[in-house]
Structure 1
């Protein structure tokens, strides 16, 4: 019985007692009636309280509304920036995730457990198995791999929990990310440089061993370059003879000197004292090129490289000094001699 009900019962009992007392005085009840009234007034509240106690049990009916609910076990834990190994030494992934678990059926003799610790350990073991086989440069791809691999509830090694992870992020230490970016740029530049080096080497081999091997090869090459214009090729025979002589650092054969003398605009008198650079200058001017022209510098560079493959460094250096190619094409003679010789 609640406090309100008790108060009401007592109030009604007292009120009834007063009414009966007034009635007894008016009707002049005998003494035994007054004794019975006193017993009734005292016994009715006691009987009402006793009946109410038997009906409500151990606790009042309304008291159950104030009993706190059983605490709900928290089954998730957040881990942040845990280092995991990668496939590269000294490069580590930083792992963050929300770890969730569900307890399996336990037995009475099981030891007291820390479920959060067991769940985190199980997730890190699963994540490490994957990350240690991946390169740090694949960090974005590995993050998605982990989301799939850890997104399923799986039991831990001891069989106490089923564990999964979500909200996974994977990053690198900032200095490591900067190093990887620089390495990627270097690899790209190296690939371009290697391509250019192979191209130049192939061009030198093509010019030296094929096109400018002798005057006949140069004539065939020039004929193909001019769409089989025989008249133009014949007119340029003297220039081709000079170019071949300069490329091979040899004197022009006597049988070809007449061709040079018959050329339209010889820039340098032809004689036995002429050197390879003299022949080359005659070739350039005969082609209508002038100093400062990009083709002038490009041909100078390529012919000098061809001559250098024949171990005639002095002649190549003389070409570069006399015709002063731009800095993009010229390389100092001392630096070139220090470079290892490339295979033909």
Structure 2
């Protein structure tokens, strides 16, 4: 009989006693009736207790829940490993792996030897991790970390078949010296790639100039003509320079006709402005030099700007205190105005082209 049944029996006996007392007072029982009623009440309560103790309970004691007993602690099969060196794709550069290894023992045969399940689980997890790290370069540590978290997140039976192991919270790092070395090597490789590209570009440029542009004097002249927007006069005046450059590029002697030939162009100022020497050695007048200058500037023979240019040059000569130069240019302009079609015979034969045309 449980304590609950006993409490209920005592409570009912107390209520029955109170009812009997009320009835006795209302009926005015004699004195001898009170002890008799009390004894009967006690006898009924005692009989109820004896009967309850003899009755078999509905739920046997061995089947009853025992909430007051302490719950046994759950056995956790896990171990933390830190900074385990695993090989990478490059020799002497190791990944440092840390993780929480979890495992479950597998039922073993009756005659199987005792083993350390924790050691088997850690060895299984590290072997699975090594198969991944050995294929990755060391500077990809973050990528390797995510790969290991995905690969080791599944319970897999080890080679002995005694445990199922997995890993959580995997982290992959490199040592500080290794990281610094890799950064330096990466910088050197990038600089070397840029230098190699520049070197190949320079070799290509030299090959283009030596094997194509300056291969012969003719190829050099064609290249120079294309560079100067088909300015034939300028290219003709630079043939001597191009011939010497072509001969020097081929390590050959310079042709005799170009040995002492001075460059005609690229001389902005002359020591004696009134006369210069042409390719044939004859003296060129101021007007002829001015005509060559306008041709080099791209002014065609029928361009009206040639006359304006000549007038401005005459004014500049006057300002520079060169009256003879100014007078020669003005005389040429006067002859052109008097004979615009060039029908006169004031230009002696063999004197060259008509001024400013």
| TM-score by shorter chain over 0.5 | yes
Distance in 2 between the 1:111 and 1:67 partners? Answer: 35
Could you tell me which runs of 5 or more consecutive residues in structure 2 were left unpaired when the two chains were aligned. Answer: 272-357
**Contact 2:241-2:263 within 8 A present in 1 as well:** no
CA apart distance, 1:154? 2.0
* 2:136 counterpart of 1:146: no
**Contact 1:82-1:96 within 8 A present in 2 as well:** yes
Which residue number corresponds to residue 47 of structure 2?
Answer: 44
- TM-score normalised by structure 1 residue count: 0.58
Aligned to 1:65, what secondary structure does the other structure show?
A: coil
Looking at CA atoms only, which structure, 1 or 2, has the larger radius of gyration? 2
Which residue number corresponds to residue 73 of structure 2?
Answer: 71
**Contact 2:83-2:98 within 8 A present in 1 as well:** yes
Give the counterpart of 1:88 among 87, 90, 113.
90
Give the counterpart of 2:103 among 101, 104, 120.
101
Distance in 2 between the 1:263 and 1:188 partners? Answer: 48
CA apart distance, 1:93? 0.9
Distance in 2 between the 1:250 and 1:199 partners? Answer: 26
Q: Map residues 6-45 of structure 1 onto 2, 5 A cutoff.
A: 6=6, 9=9, 26=30, 28=32, 40=43, 44=47
Q: Map residues 1-344 of structure 1 onto 2, 5 A cutoff.
A: 1-3=1-3, 5-6=5-6, 9=9, 26=30, 28=32, 40=43, 44=47, 47-48=50-51, 50-51=53-54, 57-58=60-61, 64-112=66-114, 114-244=116-246, 247=249, 252-257=254-259, 260-261=261-262, 263-264=264-265
CA apart distance, 1:122? 1.1
Aligned to 2:143, what secondary structure does the other structure show?
A: helix
Distance in 1 between the 2:94 and 2:228 partners? Answer: 61
Between the two proteins, the alignment pairs up a number of residues equal to 262
CA apart distance, 1:256? 1.8
**TM-aligned CA distance change 1:76 to 1:244, over 3 Å:** same
Could you tell me which runs of 5 or more consecutive residues in structure 1 were left unpaired when the two chains were aligned. Answer: 269-344
**Contact 1:84-1:93 within 8 A present in 2 as well:** yes
**Contact 2:101-2:122 within 8 A present in 1 as well:** yes
CA apart distance, 1:103? 4.1
**Contact 1:86-1:93 within 8 A present in 2 as well:** yes
CA apart distance, 1:241? 3.1
**TM-aligned CA distance change 1:170 to 1:49, over 3 Å:** same
Aligned to 1:82, what secondary structure does the other structure show?
A: strand
- TM-score normalised by structure 2 residue count: 0.57
